[in-house]
A and B are shown apart, each in its own frame.
Chain A
Amino acid sequence: DADVTQTPRNRITKTGKRIMLECSQTKGHDRMYWYRQDPGLGLQLIYYSFDVKDINKGEISDGYSVSRQAQAKFSLSLESAIPNQTALYFCATSDSNTGFLSYNEQFFGPGTRLTVL
């Protein structure tokens, strides 16, 4: 079974609709992230969470909100989707409890391709 899962894998929606993307992990990591990938722009950070009670904005948080329901679950919501939010969305996790010299590598989910018409 995959360690980081995302649902749905693909989604087509219409402008103005509310949509939620979900991420779950079985790695036991405390930190979770949402990134957005646009062609030619690489991945950009939307939100990140240190733990259930600590959520922080990334570089492109406008138009998005998140919820950390449990240590293993981190959801991304688009309250009113617009066409320029069409992109590939990735969830990632990281473990802060691996020591100061650790790479604290991020592990990515398989991505959700979202199309807003």
Chain B
Amino acid sequence: AQTVTQSQPEMSVQEAETVTLSCTYDTSESDYYLFWYKQPPSRQMILVIRQEAYKQQNATENRFSVNFQKAAKSFSLKISDSQLGDAAMYFCAYRSRMDSSYKLIFGSGTRLLVRP
């Protein structure tokens, strides 16, 4: 069974600085998707960025980028120029391409605090 681990329960960053959130996963599959979701105090789950395992190029969405290391099974999220609105819980998630349910397997989350 696949697992997702986020080893940082909480991280803190100064506004305008850069922060990296860690995520590792365990799988025997070679084809899968990885996601980062943001959960602000409103509780809404918001997709931040996604990565396909067969693509070597790291995904980027504006100030958000990932460092995908397939061999190391690592999928970290880098937030550049941090803003107060980035304060939230961040969840890493895995989805198997072979599992027809499309179900997501989540990590336990990292709470990001942004200091003004």
Residues of B within 8 A of A (CB): 4, 6, 9, 33, 42-45, 47, 50, 52, 91, 95, 100-104, 106-109
Is A58 interfacial (CB-CB < 8 Å)?
A: yes
Please give the number of chain A residues whose Cβ is less than 8 angstroms from any Cβ of chain B in the complex.
26
| Inter-chain contact total with CB atoms closer than 8 Å | 52
Task: Give, as a whole number of angstroms, the nearest-CB distance from B56 to chain A.
Answer: 16
How many angstroms between the C-alpha atoms of A34 and B12 in the bound complex?
31
Q: Which residues of the other chain, A, contact B109 by a CB distance below 8 angstroms?
A: 40, 42
| Nearest-CB residue, chain B, relative to A43 | B106
Given A56-B101, A111-B43, A111-B44, decide whether A40 and B50 contact each other with a Cβ distance below 8 A.
Answer: no
How many angstroms between the C-alpha atoms of A40 and B101 in the bound complex?
25
How many angstroms between the C-alpha atoms of A103 and B59 in the bound complex?
13
Residues 8-51 of chain A: 1 if any B CB is under 8 Å from the residue's CB, otherwise 0? 00000000000000000000000101010000111111001010
Residue of B45, B95, B101, B103 touching A108 (CB-CB under 8 A): B45
Is A79 interfacial (CB-CB < 8 Å)?
A: no
Given A42-B91, A48-B101, A103-B50, decide whether A110 and B106 contact each other with a Cβ distance below 8 A.
Answer: no
Given A43-B91, A94-B102, A96-B102, decide whether A110 and B44 contact each other with a Cβ distance below 8 A.
Answer: yes
- Among B101, B102, B107, the one with the most A-chain Cβ atoms within 10 Å of its Cβ is B102
Residue of A31, A35, A88, A104 touching B43 (CB-CB under 8 A): A88
How many angstroms between the C-alpha atoms of A45 and B100 in the bound complex?
15
Q: Which residues of the other chain, B, contact A106 by a CB distance below 8 angstroms?
A: 102, 104
Q: Which residues of the other chain, A, contact B104 by a CB distance below 8 angstroms?
A: 35, 43, 45, 106
How many angstroms between the C-alpha atoms of A108 and B108 in the bound complex?
17
Whether B103 contacts A40 by the Cβ 8 Å rule is: no
Instruction: Identify which of residues 79-117 in chain A touch chain B, using a CB-to-CB cut-off of 8 Å.
Output: 88, 90, 92, 94, 96, 103-106, 108, 110-111, 113
Given A40-B9, A42-B106, A42-B109, decide whether A110 and B101 contact each other with a Cβ distance below 8 A.
Answer: no
